Structure formats: structure tokens, C-alpha cells
Amino acid sequence: MKLISLLCISLLMLVSCKENSEPKQGAETTEQLPSNSIFNLTSDWQNQDGKTIKLKDLQGKTLVVVMIYTTCKTACPILVAKMKMIESKFDRKDIDKINLVLVSIDPETDTPEHLKEFSIKNEMTGPQWTFLRSAENATKEFANVLSMKYKKISPIDFSHSNIISTFKPNGILVSQEEGDINVDKVVTTVNQTVRKK
Amino acid sequence: MKHKHFTICATTLLITALLSCNSTNTTKPETSSAEAALAMVAEGNPEVAEVTGAPKVPAPIGARAAKKLIVNLLTTEIEGIIADSIPYTFWTFNNTVPGSFIRVREGDEVTLNLKNDGSSILPHNIDLHAVTGPGGGAAATTAPPGKEASFTFKAINKGLYVYHCAAPPVPMHIGNGMYGLILVEPAGGLKPVDREYYIMQGDFYTKASVVKQGLMEFDNDKAVAENPDYVLFNGKKGSLLGANMLEAKVGETVRLFVGNGGPNLTSSFHVIGEIFDNVYLEGGSTVSHNVQTTMIPEGGSAMVEFKCEVRGEYVLVDHSLSRAFNKGCIGKLKVTGEPNEKVFSAKTLTKE
Amino acid sequence: MKHLIILLFSIVIVSCSKESEKETVYKNLEGNKTDTLQSIQSTVKMVYIPGGEYKPFFGSNTTLVSVAPFLMDERAVTNEEFLEFVIANPQWQKSNIKRLFADTNYLKTWPTDITLPENALKDAPVCNVSWFAAKAFAQSVDKRLPTLDEWEFVAMADETTANARKKPKYSDSIIDLYLQKNRQFKSVKQSPPNYWGIYNMFDLIWEWTDDFNAVLTTGDSRSGEYNDKNLVCAGGATSATDVMNYAAYMRFALRTSIKADYTIGNLGFRCAKDTTIIKQ
């Protein structure tokens, strides 16, 4: 009996581990990336489930991307709220065609556990939500791709510009909203992008 | 050559004036407000706006409806003559100081494309005082060498406005000549006149370049002390003298679009021997009459109108007269035609 | 049978535990794949900079920033060196570069992928390179780009002192150099080095820094302290600490006007490196 249960657990784990590596294999097959696609970035990222991915693995869905840090008390809560508003205004039947991505500019604090906790607390837990962190180097590089400015002021405080960007499923930038972000404008852009696909 | 140009210009003005007179007598431009301008729909496809270097101005907008316009400006850093064959490194909009005159109508939707020339050393941008919005467009148009930036605005306030570069350090960019005027005409256009000219005053602070012999450059210390070497109309000593004098004929009405780029000195604009019939104070909507000298703040403007009654040469000055006599702030308007002894006659008494 | 199961179980444990050691994974997350870059040899002399506290140009007057000791190239990366880099790394040649990493002006004056312009000096600084390209070059020589604070720390020096900011002519003499046209076409190391032995901080080109995007002012300098929460979330003061330092204004104006994929005719770079040595 003991033996059988051990076998079952092992098999289960094996299966779940295998699942983790599947998206990577899928991404390998699509080689023709446009020259200006963000999927040309080769950096490694961790999502809220602690899974290591490449940006390429996000291919295939319209992306709505924002960079934040979860311990921010000023602008980021507004940005997060706006991301939620964007999500809520989206047609439910198309929800599997978009991916709302929140990228941390404070990878040291924003561990996968922390991101997971943050996502639960803010009710951003569906498959359409992705939280990412990477090494500082890759984070800076990603910010530069978005033309986003940020600076570490103290170990717990960052200055940063507020930008929400929309990308086509192939990683090409459609448009960016900066500053006092107009949620409806982003939703319109995302809707158009999804339909074009 | 010059004369021919003027004739063509004057004829065009006259025809436009006649046309606009016929069609716009019914519209009363003065009643419209910023809200009304906001509600005006800019129709049609965007057209590239005509822009001109001083002292010329583009044709009046006349009776046309609000439309979409494209204004293209190029920022450059070039050597030019500041005075008496002394070269100076100017920074410019469209290679002239002041920069090109932009003429639009209230309700127009203007897309401003700012290209920074590839040979520039520094980034530049544009803040138009005619724009309602952050920085007048400065942050939105900041372009490093070789790059282009653009933004769109709706002209909702009529008047004569200064534009200038606002890239840091701003006093240096303005001190080197990065300013110009943009006129937002009321619906129906300004009242037609016979002649229109574009004049802009600026103060210049110079020191010898350490690299190139004879070349002068911006002197920061003199600028901070507000002690200019030159105070000039249109970026050059003598720009409105000799062959470059402004011209008019007896009986004609003249409108001067006068701006002050600064960066530091307020102008007391005066035309010796003339009285301004109308002054649009500070370039706004209040019109004052019978003015001798009008104050033009730096970063501000005035529109002055007068009728030329008597022939002769009329001297344009900043009535802070040391600037006129010692620092170059002097120009002339030459009025030709028949004598008008009813208004002015001078008898020479000779001893015999 | 039992043995086999235990073996299987332990394999699973091992492979899965790799995923759970998140901190280690974080440390190992890679910015970009250095393994896809071919290394090249760099012969440029690096200068030891002891670092110390300094007052940033943007910040509050009382805040000092500490700069750790580091090594900095004595001069900018040259045309010749960059040519060597693109020969070894074809993905960074002008016809191969990904549009994400550089605009269309990348190495614009080069007639082919691997030829310098006819009139270009081999030892003039390379320009028309994006931040991504500069960063890749630095990685290929096992270095990095200097941080903004490191660069500005070195920029405080004149020929005779480490911090010449208080000298009355400090800013003016830099501006004199800045205003020279076409200086980017000159050879490196033709003018005297600064106090540290570093050349051409001001007289040839603008230079990329690793965190050029950490300047949170806009292209509009007149707002003083920049604190519009709608536009940026700025925890630190962004007002200038020395309003007479026009030279610094000009540098920061350039930095705020550029994006990482921009390539500009008078913008190049030099490399830096961490050091563990602390010299007295």
C-alpha cells in the first residue's frame, strides 16, 4: 500500500514537472520573429508560480504590460487599479486572447511568493494575469525596451515613469499610454489588436 | 529683386484683403472665446503651413474655415553674422533668428514636427506659448541630434505668441536665438492692412570662442549678470537698416508683429516720429489707441498698427536708449510718397 | 521494484527542488545570453577610481551618494575596436541587428557591415551605436557600462583636482569643449587626461551610461522639482543642486532626450568594471 502511494506521488510529480517545461518546447517551433519584437530579448524571467520562462513563452496573446513594484505606496496602486479596470472592461469571451503582464522593477523584494501573494490580495489570479521578475540587468534592459525610466532611491523606494504598453501577439509594440493613463484608450487599442489577429 | 518681391507680396495681400473683406463683413471675430474655438471642427486633410523668416510674414488666413495644419521646424546650430562681420554661433529654428513666423487660425489643429538637425551637438525642443498643455509642448518635442519629435495641439486662444526652445539650460538656448512668433488669427482674420512685418528683439551675451579664432559664443556669466553686448532686432545688427529697411507708402496702413525673445531684457518698443493707432497689448485681445511706446516683456509680444501719413525714415528702437545707441537695437521704416504738409512741414531758416 | 521506485522518487525530488530554490534561481537569472557573444580582446588601459561620496547634479543638496571603487576605461571605445566586435559578432552588424536593439541610423556612415567609413579615423570614438549595442560590446570584453554616478564622479575632476566643481571656470571650460562642432571625428587621447588619468570626458562625444534612463526629469527643465504623481512616481528630489553648472544641464538634457535604441552621431561610450581592490 505504502509502495503504491509512493509510486502515485512520484508519477504525479513527474507529470507536473513535465508540464512546466512544455511551453518552452512550444516556443522553439516559432522561429520567425519580427526584428522589432520584444521576444528577441533572451533574458530569463520568473513568474508568480516560480516558473522560469522566457518572454518568448508569452507569444500568441495580445500583451498589456506595466512595470511596477509591489511595495510602492504612491503611483503603482493606481497603475495596478488601472490594469484591473482594463481587464474588467474586456469582453469575457476573448479573455483567453490577452495576457496582462506586471513586471517588477524591484526583483529583490518581489520574489515569486511575494508576487503570488500580491496577485491573490489584489484578485488578479486568473490565467490572464502574469507577474514577472528577473535579474536587475534584464529588468533594466526590459525597461529600456519600453522607454521607461526608473531609479532606486532607497532599498524600498523607486522613482519611475508610469507607462502601460500594448503588444501584438508577435511582440511588436502597438502603442503606449504614459502619465495620466486613459484606460478606455488602452482597452480600445487592445480590442483592435485582438480582432486584427 | 527685392522690390519685385514686395510688389508681389503687396498685391497678394491686397487681393486677399479684398476677398476677405467681401466675405467676412458679417462675421464679428471679437466675440469668439476659447470655448468657441475648441468647438470649431478642423476639417479636411492636413496641409503643410507656409512659414517665413523675418521680416516677412505668411499670407493672412482670411475667411477660411478652421483646418488641420502641419508645421515643420528644423533646429540647427549654425554660424552667422551678429554684427559688423563678427561671426557668432546661433541656435535656430529653420536657420533664422528669429525662427520662422507661424500663422494659424483659432480652431486649427496643428501638428508640430520638430526635427533636430543631425549636425547639432545638443537636444532641442519647442515651447509654444500659443499651446494649452504641459510645457507648451516642450517635453513632448525634445529631440536629440538627428531625431524628430512631434505633437498636435488645437489653437484655442487667438493672439500673438512667442515660441522658444526650452531644453536645459533654457537661457542659453534662448540667448543663442531659439525663439520666434506664432500668430493665432481670429475666425474671419485680422482686419486687412497694407503691410505686415515680423520683428523680434533679443539680448545677446558674447565671448570669444577658445577654439575658433574670431568666432563669438554665448557667455553665461554676462547672461546671469543680464549685461548684454548686443540688444538686436532680428538677430543681427543692421537687420532693418540700409537695404534691409522696412518699406511703406504714404497712406498705407502698417502692422508690426513685434516679439521679445529676451532671454532677459524687457523692451520699450517705440517708432520715432509715429504714434501707434492700435496696440494689441502684450499680443492679446485688449486694443489700446494712440500709444507712443509699448512695453513688450521677454517671452511676450505686441501687435502695433499705424497709418503712414508723412514720408521719411522712421527709426524703430527699444526706448531704453543705450540699447539703441550702443548695443544695436535700431531699425528703420522708410515711407515714400508725396509730401503731406498738412500733417508735417519743416521750414529751414537760412541766414542771409 | 522498491529500489526502482525510490530512485525514481529521488530523481523527481531533485529536478523539482531546482525550481523551488527560488533565490538561487534569481541570482542565476540572466540579463542577456552572454554565451551567444564572442569575446574580443580589449587592450585599453583601465584606471582605478577609488570612489567616495559625491553630490549628484539632481537631488537634494544634503544627499550624498556613495560610489564604490571601480575601474574605468581611460578612453572611449574606438571605431577600430567596434569593427573588431561586429566582425566577431555578426548579429551586431548593421544589416543583421534586430530593430528592437537599434534604430535605422545604427553605424549609419559605415559603407558595409564590416568596413569603416573611408574618412573615419580608426582611433576616433565609435558613434551611432545604441545602448544595447554598447552594452553588448562591454560584455564581449568582460566589462560593463559605467553607471551614471560613476561617470559623473569622474566628471568632477579637472586636470589637477579630483573635484573641481567649486572652481569658477569649471562649468564654462567644459561648455567651451561642448560647443565645438565635429569633435567626435577626432582621435582619442589627443588632449590632456584629467586628475585620474582619464581622457576625453568632455571634448569628443556624449557617452552612454548603464542607467541613463534613471534621470526622471523631462526635457522641460523649468519645472524645478519634478513631482507630478500622475506622470512619474518620484520618491527622490529631482531639482538641480547647482544651477550654475550649465555643463551638467547640457549633459542631462541629452540623457533625458535619448532612448536605448537611439543611435546618434555624437554619442558613443566607454566601459567600466567592478573591482574588489580597495586602494588607499
A137, A148, A176: best to mutate for the C interface, most C CBs within 10 A: A137
What mean pLDDT is predicted for residues B285-297? 97
Q: What is the DSSP letter of B122?
A: S
A1, A5, A36, A44: best to mutate for the C interface, most C CBs within 10 A: A44
**C153-169 b/e with 16+ CB inside 10 Å = b?**
bbbbbbeeebebbeeee
Contact between C26 and A143 using a beta-carbon 8 Å cutoff: no
The mean-pLDDT minimum among B13-22, B58-67, B192-201 falls in B13-22
Please say whether the beta carbons of C243 and C221 come within 8 A: no
Pairing mode of beta strands B276-280, B300-307: antiparallel
Please say whether the beta carbons of B228 and B266 come within 8 A: no
Query: Does C61 contact chain B (CB < 8 Å)?
Result: no
Give the per-residue pLDDT at C193: 97
Give the per-residue pLDDT at C151: 97
Name the pLDDT band for B1 (thresholds 50, 70, 90).
Answer: very low
Give the per-residue pLDDT at C11: 45
Q: Which residues of C touch A36 (CB under 8 A)?
A: 98-100
- Taking CA atoms, what residue in C is nearest to B139? C219
Q: Which residues contact C158 (CB under 8 A, 6 or more apart)?
A: C164, C167, C170, C173, C194, C195
Query: Does A76 contact chain C (CB < 8 Å)?
Result: yes
* Residue A137 distance to chain C (closest CA, Å): 5
Contact between C221 and B167 using a beta-carbon 8 Å cutoff: yes
C220, C244, C258: best to mutate for the B interface, most B CBs within 10 A: C220
User: In angstroms, rounded to a whole number, what is the distance separating the alpha carbons of residues B34 and B39?
Assistant: 9
Contact between C267 and B144 using a beta-carbon 8 Å cutoff: yes
Q: Which residues of B touch C175 (CB under 8 A)?
A: 220
Contact between B119 and C181 using a beta-carbon 8 Å cutoff: yes
Give the per-residue pLDDT at C277: 80
The distance from CA B130 to its chain's CA centroid, rounded to whole angstroms, is 14
What are the residues facing A45 on neighbouring strands?
A: A53
Query: Does C252 contact chain B (CB < 8 Å)?
Result: yes
Name the pLDDT band for B17 (thresholds 50, 70, 90).
Answer: very low
Query: Does C262 contact chain B (CB < 8 Å)?
Result: yes
User: In angstroms, rounded to a whole number, what is the distance separating the alpha carbons of residues A65 and A63?
Assistant: 6
Please say whether the beta carbons of C170 and C164 come within 8 A: yes
Looking at the predicted structure, is the pLDDT value of residue B210 above 90? no
Query: Does C181 contact chain B (CB < 8 Å)?
Result: yes
Give the per-residue pLDDT at B25: 43
Please say whether the beta carbons of A105 and A139 come within 8 A: yes
Looking at the predicted structure, is the pLDDT value of residue A24 above 90? no
User: In angstroms, rounded to a whole number, what is the distance separating the alpha carbons of residues A185 and A192?
Assistant: 11
* B79 phi and psi angles, rounded to 5 deg: -85, 140
Question: What is the CB neighbour count within 10 angstroms for residue C132?
Answer: 24
Looking at the predicted structure, is the pLDDT value of residue B298 above 70? yes
User: In angstroms, rounded to a whole number, what is the distance separating the alpha carbons of residues B317 and B330?
Assistant: 5
Contact between C30 and A135 using a beta-carbon 8 Å cutoff: yes
C-alpha cell at B65: 474655415
* Residue C130 distance to chain A (closest CA, Å): 11
Short-list C262, C181, C243, CA closest to B91: C181
Burial class (CB in 10 A: 0-12, 13-18, 19+), B284: middle
Give the per-residue pLDDT at C60: 67
CA dist B267 → B50, B175, B202, B232, B263 (Å):
28, 15, 9, 11, 11
CA dist A162 → A86, B143, C128 (Å):
15, 21, 29
Residue with cell 551586431: C92
What does the mean pLDDT of chain B come to?
91
C-alpha cell at C36: 551567444
How many structural domains does chain C have?
1
Q: What is the DSSP letter of A153?
A: E
Contact between B123 and C175 using a beta-carbon 8 Å cutoff: no
Q: Which domain holds residue C77?
A: 2-28+46-274
Residue with cell 556669466: B221
In a domain, C35, yes or no: no
> Of how many residues is chain A composed?
197
CATH of the domain at C262: 3.90.1580
C-alpha cell at A61: 496573446
Name the pLDDT band for B346 (thresholds 50, 70, 90).
Answer: confident
Please say whether the beta carbons of B132 and C251 come within 8 A: no
Please provide the CATH number assigned to the domain covering A35-189.
3.40.30.10
**What amino acid occupies position B6?**
F
CA dist C51 → B304, C67, C70 (Å):
60, 5, 7
In a domain, C33, yes or no: no
Q: In this complex, which chains have at least 3 CB pairs below 8 Å with chain B? A: C
Contact between C9 and A9 using a beta-carbon 8 Å cutoff: yes
B141, B147, B216: best to mutate for the C interface, most C CBs within 10 A: B147
* Residue B230 distance to chain C (closest CA, Å): 21
Q: Which residues of B touch C (CB under 8 A)?
A: 77, 89, 118-119, 121-123, 125, 127, 134-135, 138-139, 141-147, 166-170, 172, 209-211, 217, 220-221, 224
User: In angstroms, rounded to a whole number, what is the distance separating the alpha carbons of residues C16 and C172?
Assistant: 62
Query: Does C180 contact chain B (CB < 8 Å)?
Result: yes
- Taking CA atoms, what residue in B is nearest to C181? B121
User: In angstroms, rounded to a whole number, what is the distance separating the alpha carbons of residues B302 and B257?
Assistant: 6
User: In angstroms, rounded to a whole number, what is the distance separating the alpha carbons of residues B169 and C240?
Assistant: 11
- Taking CA atoms, what residue in C is nearest to A2? C2
Under 8 Å CB pairs connecting chains B and C tally to: 93
Query: Does A192 contact chain C (CB < 8 Å)?
Result: no
Across the interface, of C246, C252, C266, the residue whose CB is closest to B145 is C266
* pLDDT-flagged residues of chain C (< 50): 1, 4-25, 34, 221, 223-237
Contact between C30 and A138 using a beta-carbon 8 Å cutoff: yes
Let me know the angle formed at the C-alpha of B106 by B57 and B18, rounded to the nearest 5 degrees: 55
User: In angstroms, rounded to a whole number, what is the distance separating the alpha carbons of residues A86 and C218?
Assistant: 27
Query: Does A75 contact chain C (CB < 8 Å)?
Result: yes
Contact between B125 and C220 using a beta-carbon 8 Å cutoff: yes
Looking at the predicted structure, is the pLDDT value of residue A15 above 90? no
Stronger pLDDT, B211 or A114, i.e. the higher one:
A114
Residue with cell 548684454: B228
Name the pLDDT band for A35 (thresholds 50, 70, 90).
Answer: very high
Looking at the predicted structure, is the pLDDT value of residue A73 above 70? yes
Give the per-residue pLDDT at C64: 87
Give the per-residue pLDDT at A197: 55
Domain boundaries, chain A: 35-189
Q: Which residues of C touch A170 (CB under 8 A)?
A: none
- Taking CA atoms, what residue in C is nearest to B222? C172
How confident is the model over B309-327, as pLDDT tens digits? 999 999 999 999 999 999 9
The mean-pLDDT minimum among B39-53, B126-140, C32-46 falls in C32-46
DSSP state string for C166-210: TSTTHHHHHHHHHT-TTGGGSPTT-S---TTS---SSSS-EE--T
Q: What is the DSSP letter of C52?
A: E
Residue with cell 514577472: A132
Contact between A50 and C2 using a beta-carbon 8 Å cutoff: no
Give the per-residue pLDDT at C225: 42
Contact between C249 and B224 using a beta-carbon 8 Å cutoff: no
Stronger pLDDT, B257 or B32, i.e. the higher one:
B257
* Residue A46 distance to chain C (closest CA, Å): 8
C-alpha cell at B185: 488669427
Say what percent of chain B tops pLDDT 70: 90
Give the per-residue pLDDT at C61: 65
Across the interface, of C176, C179, C265, the residue whose CB is closest to B146 is C265
Pairing mode of beta strands B101-105, B51-52: antiparallel
**A106-144 b/e with 16+ CB inside 10 Å = b?**
bbeebbbebbbebbeebebeeebbbbbbbbbbbbbbbbb
In a domain, C38, yes or no: no
C-alpha cell at B231: 540688444
**C19-50 b/e with 16+ CB inside 10 Å = b?**
beeeeebbeebebbeeeebeebebebebbebb
Q: Which residues of B touch C219 (CB under 8 A)?
A: 123, 125, 138-139, 141-142, 166-167
What mean pLDDT is predicted for residues A34-59? 94
Across the interface, of A17, A37, A112, the residue whose CB is closest to C15 is A17
Q: Which residues of A touch C235 (CB under 8 A)?
A: 74, 153-154, 157-159
- Taking CA atoms, what residue in A is nearest to C147? A151
**What amino acid occupies position A50?**
G
How confident is the model over A148-193, as pLDDT tens digits? 988 887 777 888 888 999 999 999 999 999 888 899 999 999 999 9
Q: Which residues of C touch A154 (CB under 8 A)?
A: 235
Q: State yes or no: cis peptide before A112, omega within 30 of 0.
A: no
Under 8 Å CB pairs connecting chains A and C tally to: 156
